Structure 1
Amino acid sequence: MTSPEEHQATESSTGSLDAKVALGKTPSSLSQPQYVTLEKYTDAHAADHALDHDVAAIAHELQAEALQPTPTELRSVLRKIDLLMMPMMCCVYTLTFLDKTTTNYAHLLGFQNDLQFSGADYSWLGSIFYFGYLFATPVHGILFQKLPLGRYLAACIILWGTVLALHAAAFNYAGLVVCRLFLGIFEAAVTPGFIMITGRFYRRNEQVSRTAIWFSCNGWAQILGGLVAYGVLMQPSGSLPVWREMFIILGGVTILLGIVVLAFFPSSPETFKLLSHREKLIAVERIRENQTGLHNKKFKWYQLREAFLDPRLYLLFFCILTLDVANGGTSNFGSAIISSLGYNKKITALLGMATGLSEVVAVIIMVLIARWTKTRSIPGIACLLVAILGASMMVGLPASQANAKVAGYAMVMFFAMPTLLLYATLSSSVGGETKKVTFNAVFSLGYAAGNIIGPQTYRASEAPNYPSAKAAMLACLCVGGVFYVALFIYHSIENKRRDRLYPIESAKEQNATQELSDLTDWERKSFRYPL
């Protein structure tokens, strides 16, 4: 099995596609997978391939200086990027998961009784968040390309923190619905934004581990949420219901974090304030080998068309949709699932932490398998099999075996690992800014759709055991696994086709201009997909 890192050599200096692009010309036709038809390119596409002014200046400077950073300089730049980016991304992602699942903890704290709404209404609270997510995703995708990504993310964080705090002011079900809708709108920017940021700052072989670091905060958020719920339950009742206090506190913390992100979070390597000029050049030099470009603000219709002609777009969409049916249910009904096994509220809060710990352990296991096998497919499949086994335990074991069913529920959390690996794959397997934005948007639509469907499988008439919901979870995990395997089979077939048509010796990349150009993965003969 050939890794992408082994195919970093690219096109030759005469007649290569990238060389023509660098000269402001366009090829008469584009080599595509033999099973996909795409119309021939015309001279009108010359402007489409032009670099943004700032990116072109960086590419010119890299060539003029013939930059050859030492291993020590490369490690120093990576360390500075990690020290700033990873803590902030982890904090944001922790609050992203914690804030959108606050209704799970508020349910445990009695807000359903206080606001007097039904079990069916509670299911819709879980779904309405993702309707907001669904509607906002295309808008975020367009604005990601047009605006500075770091500042845009910061604005969304501040706005969602404000909306979260306003949950405390909801005195009826309608007010709560409005708050959940807008929370979904603003939170929808975070995950696709982080996928793009990871691709802009990290090499291919670094992206799985860095994505794993910030994605693991889903697990830490569940642990933190369980501690918060348990701590609140231990406190004597005051004049303000404890669930309202929780919303105010978490909303305030989110707003403060958004201000920090606004002040320090960079949009791309060349805007990283804590790096010197040479270090910024080195940061860009590091990611040239990704062959996915740097960034480009011009929306390109041919890349949009190419994205919708790419079969991987549909494999990714249906894979994330089916996997996140499970996520939509467990995120909103986790406490209900555990309490239905006979545990009181305090024990339920503590056992809810076990699912978070399971996810953290799953991340560690996944990263170890990925490093050992040097693949993304094998660790994802292994973790998905664990999740399917856990769901089978939830469905098949009798109610008398409560501890075993809780263990099965914790094992279900392994389903998040294929999702994590799909995030890393998105950041490293799609070239061209508009094509990347399109893939991110469609992927997020699938994520939202799955999370809308998930809570609806929990019928109030089947409470508290929800047998149909558990069966639906098991079925969706199995179907999602089929799409996951199909994606990487497609990658393998396409890599072999490219190896046959474009041997390594005929694929020498020219310079920084070509490597940072806004070309898609279909346009780069040297591009190889992660396996």
Structure 2
Amino acid sequence: MAISQPPAQPGPPPQDVEKAAHHHRGSSSSSIGITAPPPPAPVECPPHTTPRRLTTRIDLHLVPFVIILYLMAFLDRVNIANARAFGLEADLGLSGTQFNTALTIFFVPYILFEIPSNILLKKISPRIWLSGCCIGFGFVTMMQGLVQNYAGILVTRFLLGLFECGMFPGCFYLLGMWYRREEAQKRFSLFFSSTSLAGAFGGLLASGLGSMDYMRGYRGWRWIFLVEGAATVVIGAIFLFTFPGFVEEAKWLRDDERDYIKARLHADQGHSAAERSITLKDVGKVMSDYKVWLGGFMYFGIIVPAYSYAYFSPTIVQSYGYDKIQTQLHSVPPWAVAFVFAMIIATASDWFKHRFLFTVGPICISISGFAILLNVHDNLPVQYAALVLICMGMYSAMPIQVCWFNMNLGGHHRRAVGSAWQIGFGNIGGIIATYSFVGGDFHKGYIICVSFICLSALSCIVYAVAIMAENKKKARQTLDEGMTEQERAELGVSFFTISTKGKCVC
């Protein structure tokens, strides 16, 4: 890695130089500034390329893979809602809250094994671990298409949660170890918007597969599971040979490119400590930080309405008087609008280098949608528009929350544990969501959803206040306090920011 010397005379920096101290420059009205030591020497980009070209290469080698992986995971997770519209409950003899219980059991292993999954991901490598899990949950999805009773659907849903537990936190963890904070949000939101694409694509696919009713003796809902699960298995097998890993494992990078990427990530996020295994002591240190708990509550609050929408929106749309095929087709537009809006919000968030307002703003849009549904009961266009507001608000706020929290965690250990904790704890809300619309009581479900999304907004506000307090505290202290770089990595370096401009090392 080449380190250029500071110029003797002031002048404009070379175009191929990334300023390692970018975040130490003066703060603005949207950032929290601190007193910082003199900036380190600039990090020089290899002469044969440019930072923009290198970032584009990273995008092409990383983002499409995580998008496809999570799209298939989310599709296999929520396609049970589409299958329900085609007679799953009647064929399996489900009654009362048995369908809700089948949804709930998915979250038991999904919550419990997220932190162990991220630890194994770092130990084994993303390519082998995430690809193997993809094959696993694809096969289980196929088995859902062959179950004959309530016990069968419970077992397959449990195994589905076990294989899927590492997908979401693992991909966010992987993305966070490639991108700087100021360029991360668009990639995080594009990845997260796989959920919107899965919702839209799932509705279209279900409308086609459902029309295969009784083909070769199988009901339409069985074909939904069989075809989508088989596609996932094939993709997982391909990913075993092609899925990307961490920077240290990237064989498609030259040595000088790899050194440059690690150097600029070090300048932005601190020492990653990738060479050391994660221990229980590391987990304890991360969990002793109250801000980590706030990150969990942010996600927990928004998960309840998000999963409620994912699992029950076909039921809500069907209550408007549409037949089975029209129900699937009318479930597509809200997801499509959510995808576009999420990317607009993400681009604006990166442009303004700010996270807080771009989290709370979309949450308020969702709250307005729920308010409409709670008060309007006889105007179908307005009710349908409210569903669009709910979907676009939630699924644009969620990736901002996760990126904001993850990029405030420095190093492999804090990010592996912290990201898995946020997603794992947050998905407890998924259990609540599965019982939010019991017996078709939509009014009660809307009340539950709006209550929890308000909890998410409150947690975001408290998290922002905690960041400001932490930054003021650290501004009065010596940043390094005599610690070596390795010692700071052992403690877990974090960057607590409301925006991506000012940073506090603690």
The two structures share one fold, judged by TM-score above 0.5: yes
Note the 1:124-143 alignment, pairs <5 A.
Answer: 124-143=101-120
Gaps of 5+ in 1: 14-62
Aligned to 1:96: 73
The ranges of structure 1 where at least 4 consecutive aligned residues each deviate by more than 4 angstroms after the TM superposition are 1-13, 506-510, 513-519
Q: 1 or 2, which has the higher helix percentage?
A: 1
Which deviates more, 365-374 or 272-281? 365-374
Q: Kindly indicate whether residue 370 of structure 2 is the aligned counterpart of residue 394 of structure 1.
A: no
Which deviates more, 243-252 or 140-149? 140-149
Aligned to 2:82: 105
Kept in 2: contact 1:291–1:515 (CA 8 A): no
Which amino acid in the other structure matches residue 364 of structure 1? M
Query: Are the structure 2 counterparts of residues 496 and 256 from structure 1 closer, same or farther at C-alpha, using a change threshold of 3 Å?
Result: same
Structure 1 residues 390-441: Cα deviation after superposition (integer angstroms, max 9, x where no partner): 011111112x112211211121111233321122123311124333233223
Q: Kindly indicate whether residue 145 of structure 2 is the aligned counterpart of residue 206 of structure 1.
A: no
Aligned to 1:374: 353
Query: Are the structure 2 counterparts of residues 323 and 353 from structure 1 closer, same or farther at C-alpha, using a change threshold of 3 Å?
Result: same
Q: How far off is 1:303 after superposition? A: 3.3
Aligned to 1:177: 154
Aligned to 2:97: 120
Aligned to 1:403: 381
Aligned to 1:53: none
Aligned counterpart for 1:473 among listed residues 434, 445, 449:
449
Which amino acid in the other structure matches residue 221 of structure 2? W
CA distance in 2, matches of 1:515, 1:72: 34
CA distance in 2, matches of 1:354, 1:508: 56
Query: Are the structure 2 counterparts of residues 392 and 292 from structure 1 closer, same or farther at C-alpha, using a change threshold of 3 Å?
Result: farther
CA distance in 2, matches of 1:4, 1:153: 36
CA distance in 2, matches of 1:519, 1:280: 25
Q: Kindly indicate whether residue 374 of structure 2 is the aligned counterpart of residue 357 of structure 1.
A: no
Partner secondary structure for residue 145 of structure 2: helix
Structure 1 residues 108-134: Cα deviation after superposition (integer angstroms, max 9, x where no partner): 111111111114111112211111202
Query: Are the structure 2 counterparts of residues 509 and 369 from structure 1 closer, same or farther at C-alpha, using a change threshold of 3 Å?
Result: farther
Which deviates more, 373-382 or 274-283? 274-283
Aligned to 2:492: 520
Aligned to 1:35: none
CA distance in 2, matches of 1:263, 1:205: 31
Which amino acid in the other structure matches residue 472 of structure 1? I
Aligned to 1:274: 252
Structure 1 residues 107-165: Cα deviation after superposition (integer angstroms, max 9, x where no partner): 11111111111141111122111112022223213323432233211111111111111
Query: Are the structure 2 counterparts of residues 264 and 518 from structure 1 closer, same or farther at C-alpha, using a change threshold of 3 Å?
Result: farther
Which amino acid in the other structure matches residue 54 of structure 2? V
CA distance in 1, matches of 2:107, 2:383: 28
CA distance in 2, matches of 1:362, 1:117: 37
Q: Kindly indicate whether residue 380 of structure 2 is the aligned counterpart of residue 412 of structure 1.
A: no
Aligned to 2:306: 327
Query: Are the structure 2 counterparts of residues 264 and 5 from structure 1 closer, same or farther at C-alpha, using a change threshold of 3 Å?
Result: farther
Q: Kindly indicate whether residue 470 of structure 2 is the aligned counterpart of residue 491 of structure 1.
A: no
Kept in 2: contact 1:9–1:507 (CA 8 A): no
Kept in 2: contact 1:130–1:448 (CA 8 A): yes
Query: Are the structure 2 counterparts of residues 110 and 297 from structure 1 closer, same or farther at C-alpha, using a change threshold of 3 Å?
Result: farther
Partner secondary structure for residue 101 of structure 1: helix
Partner secondary structure for residue 202 of structure 1: coil
Query: Are the structure 2 counterparts of residues 439 and 371 from structure 1 closer, same or farther at C-alpha, using a change threshold of 3 Å?
Result: closer
Structure 1 residues 339-360: Cα deviation after superposition (integer angstroms, max 9, x where no partner): 1122222221111102211321
Kept in 2: contact 1:223–1:356 (CA 8 A): yes
Kept in 2: contact 1:292–1:432 (CA 8 A): yes
Q: How far off is 1:203 after superposition? A: 1.1
Kept in 2: contact 1:355–1:410 (CA 8 A): yes
Kept in 2: contact 1:104–1:335 (CA 8 A): yes
Query: Are the structure 2 counterparts of residues 12 and 106 from structure 1 closer, same or farther at C-alpha, using a change threshold of 3 Å?
Result: closer
Kept in 2: contact 1:292–1:519 (CA 8 A): no
Q: How far off is 1:76 after superposition? A: 2.7
Query: Are the structure 2 counterparts of residues 158 and 402 from structure 1 closer, same or farther at C-alpha, using a change threshold of 3 Å?
Result: same
Q: How far off is 1:498 after superposition? A: 2.4
Aligned counterpart for 2:403 among listed residues 424, 427, 433:
424
Which amino acid in the other structure matches residue 255 of structure 2? H
CA distance in 2, matches of 1:179, 1:322: 27
Q: Kindly indicate whether residue 121 of structure 2 is the aligned counterpart of residue 149 of structure 1.
A: no
Which deviates more, 140-149 or 181-190? 140-149
CA distance in 2, matches of 1:372, 1:298: 36
Q: How far off is 1:517 after superposition? A: 4.5
CA distance in 2, matches of 1:479, 1:152: 34
CA distance in 1, matches of 2:121, 2:405: 15
Aligned to 1:78: 55
Partner secondary structure for residue 354 of structure 1: helix
Query: Are the structure 2 counterparts of residues 10 and 117 from structure 1 closer, same or farther at C-alpha, using a change threshold of 3 Å?
Result: farther
Aligned counterpart for 2:422 among listed residues 436, 443, 446:
443
Aligned to 2:164: 187
Which deviates more, 277-286 or 261-270? 277-286
Q: How far off is 1:310 after superposition? A: 1.1
Structure 1 residues 329-373: Cα deviation after superposition (integer angstroms, max 9, x where no partner): 222111111111222222211111022113213212312431453
Partner secondary structure for residue 305 of structure 1: helix
Aligned to 1:263: 241
Structure 1 residues 452-491: Cα deviation after superposition (integer angstroms, max 9, x where no partner): 111112222xx2x422111111111112110111112211
Partner secondary structure for residue 169 of structure 1: coil
Aligned to 1:529: 497
CA distance in 2, matches of 1:109, 1:290: 50
Partner secondary structure for residue 201 of structure 1: coil
Query: Are the structure 2 counterparts of residues 89 and 481 from structure 1 closer, same or farther at C-alpha, using a change threshold of 3 Å?
Result: same
Q: How far off is 1:79 after superposition? A: 1.7
Which amino acid in the other structure matches residue 333 of structure 2? A
Aligned to 2:232: 254
Q: Percent identity?
A: 23
Which amino acid in the other structure matches residue 301 of structure 2? T
CA distance in 1, matches of 2:412, 2:212: 51
CA distance in 1, matches of 2:417, 2:236: 26
Aligned to 1:290: 268
Which amino acid in the other structure matches residue 412 of structure 2? E
Gaps of 5+ in 2: 1-26, 500-506
Query: Are the structure 2 counterparts of residues 184 and 271 from structure 1 closer, same or farther at C-alpha, using a change threshold of 3 Å?
Result: same
Kept in 2: contact 1:10–1:508 (CA 8 A): no
Q: Kindly indicate whether residue 321 of structure 2 is the aligned counterpart of residue 342 of structure 1.
A: yes
Matched residue pairs, number? 468
Kept in 1: contact 2:196–2:336 (CA 8 A): yes
Q: How far off is 1:12 after superposition? A: 9.2
Q: Kindly indicate whether residue 433 of structure 2 is the aligned counterpart of residue 454 of structure 1.
A: yes
Question: What RMSD over aligned residues (CA atoms) do the two structures have, in Å?
Answer: 2.8
